Every structure is written in structure tokens, then in C-alpha cells.
Amino acid sequence: MDAISRKPDAELVALALGGDRQPVAELVRRHFDTAVYLAARVLGSTELARDAAQEAAIAAMTDLERLRSPESFGAWFCGIALNVARRWQRQLRTEVPGSGAEAPSDLLGPAEAAELADLHARVRAAVASLADGQRQAVWLFYLQGLSHREVAAELGISVGAVKARLHQARSALAGRLAREMELPEVSAMAATEAVQWADVTVTEIRRSDDEPGQRKHIMFLAELADPGRRLPVWIGPAEAAMMALTLEAVETPRPFPAKLGVSLLQAAGSGIEEVRITRLLDSVFYAAVLVRGPGGIQEVDARPSDAVNLALVAGAPIRVEESLLTSAPATSCEREVAALPVATAQIAAEVTERLREAAARRPD
């Protein structure tokens, strides 16, 4: 994807003022259809409206230095198109009596077109605020019209990862746009996907008793409302060790990564709002960390093990998409992990012993 197409309007205006012509073409392309809608309502003809928008584009290119607010290029350009259309309408009325009579039209009215332009700008701003991976997937799939496979090839990831990013982006956009437009957030979610979330907690970590390099680790997430419903998730040994230490309230000499991450957020005036296990695709779970900061809540992609470790340290809620608790993979996995003999307390004790041995080997 062209880097120019990913830049916000304000950046493109700055580049254009520096002498680069390509950003101007991208700016006009973004807002051309809205300008045509507005001009067509005035002129009553889509063909005339396109010509008016073309004249407005030339005016915008030549008078760009007059734009006071670079982030408002779209509104400025559409305003020029409207002025051109109104001037042409006055000329038509003078040259052809009766030509300005109101005619039925299925085009948007000025108020509707202005609302559409405003909505367009808000959606673009919300998309631009997404995490990098989600933003790239949304641009390619929804705005560039690529298929899931084409997006996967473009980004060098799997189709499942593309779908996961789009799913997470839709959830994030629903909340952000609802807050931005003062709409009920539930309604916004229903407009994308009606996701049901279940509050869960980590009940235990279990591990196989193989050789160190062959060991398998798993965390169990149990629903708070119904502890009998559990979601087992395979995790790495390092993440399992950190989780076991936290669950067993073991103090460590130095902060491990999850504690450091939470401390850094707090130092920056932010915090973890909640953690979500969002989807299972191609046998891989996906998660997101919702971070609360001065600019509102931002969603960050994460592995479930890292996300849950952060939530445990921060005391933040952990939520799982409802369907995952009753999925076939979770049910079959229960039987397999029942044979894993090593539980949380033993894992924490082993890690604590290794930390002591490491400390004893250090020179004073």
C-alpha cells in the first residue's frame, strides 16, 4: 500500500506545501465524491457537479497556502466546490431563464451531504488511531477493497491473523465512534458485531513433567458467574512462570516484564482498563489490552499470556468472548490437560528456587 494513502490530511497538506504534488492528488481523491454530492445538489446535475469539483480541485491546488487549518482540508475543498456550483447556478439562471427551477433529485441534500462529510472525517480519524496492525488491515480490506488473502499477502501474515485484526478493529472502532458521536455504545456494537463478553479469572497454571525443553504449560480461565466453564490456553514457559509467581504472591528481587509494563503505564499517567481474549483462529488465541490514557482508551494487540499477566499485576478485569467458553477446542483440550501433573504452587516454588540459586551465584 502506498505510504501517501496512509497519512492524515494535515501531513499531506504539509508535504504539498513543501512542493510535492502527489499529496495534493491524494487529498483531492479522498474528498472528491463528497464535493460532487454537494455540488450536484446545487446544480441538479451530476455531470456538471463533477466539472465543478474539478474546477474546485484546481483552485485548491493553486491556493493551498490559504488553508489555515490543514486538518480541515476536506471541509475547505468541499466549500470551494459549493462556491463554484453556486456561481455556475447563478450564471445558468441568467443565461437560460427557468433553468434554475427545482427538479426532483435522489441526491443527498446539503445537510445530509455535510453530515456525510463529517462522518467520513470522524471515521478516518478513528481508523488512524487504531494500533498499527489493525489500522493497516482496515485500510487494505475496507478502504482499498482487498480480499482477506490479498491483505494477508500484503502484510505478510496469515488469513486468520487478518480476520482477528479486523475483528479487534471493529470492536475498538465501535466504542470510539460511539463516544465521538455521543451515541449509545451498545447500539454501535450492535451495528458491527454483537459480542458477548464473560468475566473470567485465572484459576491455575498446569505443566507437564517432561524434560525442561519439552514441557507444556497451560493456563485455565474460569468464568466468574459459572466456574464450571473454563477456557484452557496453552502458553510459554516464561509467561507461565511469571503468572505462577503472581498467583502465589511471590515477591521477586527485581520486577519482571509485566510489573515493569504496568509501572511504565502508571508513570505515564495511564493504566490498564481491561484485558480481552477475543478470538480463536487456526488454533491460535488472540487478545487485546485496553489502555486508559489522557487521550482516552486505546486497544493494543497482545498474546493472551502477556495480556493476562498484565491484568493480574494491574488488578484489571479479564474478559473472554462468550463463544470461546463453549467451543469444541476448549472442551477437547480439557481432557488432554487433565493429565498434566504439575500445578501452580509447584511451578512458583521451582521458579523461586532458581531465582535464589541465581542470586547466590552472583558476586557480592
Enumerate long-range contacts of 49-56, CB under 8 Å, 24 or more apart: 49/85, 52/81, 52/84, 52/85, 52/88, 53/81, 53/84, 55/84, 56/80, 56/81, 56/83, 56/84
Domain boundary among 128, 156, 171: 128
For 135-190, write each residue's pLDDT tens digit: 788 777 765 556 778 778 878 887 777 777 777 777 666 655 555 544 444 333 33
Domain boundary among 108, 128, 148: 128
- For the chain, the average pLDDT equals 77
For 67-124, write each residue's pLDDT tens digit: 777 877 888 888 888 888 888 877 766 544 444 444 334 445 555 555 556 656 666 6
- State which residues form the domain around 161: 129-194
Task: Name which of 14, 74, 82 is nearest 53 in CA terms.
Answer: 82
Looking at the fold, whether 205 and 333 belong to one and the same domain comes out as yes
Asked if 201 and 224 touch (Cβ cutoff 8 Å), the reply is yes
Looking at the fold, whether 218 and 346 belong to one and the same domain comes out as yes
Looking at the fold, whether 207 and 338 belong to one and the same domain comes out as yes
Looking at the fold, whether 336 and 357 belong to one and the same domain comes out as yes
Looking at the fold, whether 67 and 147 belong to one and the same domain comes out as no
Domain count along the chain: 3
Q: What are phi and psi of 76, to 5 degrees?
A: -65, -45
Task: Name which of 346, 317, 351 is nearest 242 in CA terms.
Answer: 351
Q: What is the CATH number of the domain that holds 87?
A: 1.10.1740.10
Looking at the fold, whether 296 and 253 belong to one and the same domain comes out as yes
The pLDDT value recorded for residue 329 is: 55
For 277-310, write each residue's pLDDT tens digit: 988 876 788 888 999 888 788 888 889 999 999 9
Split at pLDDT 50, 70, 90, the class of 2 is low
Q: Edge-to-edge, what's the strand order for the sheet holding 197-207?
A: 230-235, 217-223, 197-207, 318-321, 271-281, 284-293, 296-302
For 265-274, write each residue's pLDDT tens digit: 888 888 999 9
Asked if 286 and 301 touch (Cβ cutoff 8 Å), the reply is yes
Looking at the fold, whether 70 and 7 belong to one and the same domain comes out as yes
CA gap 304, 321 in Å, rounded: 13
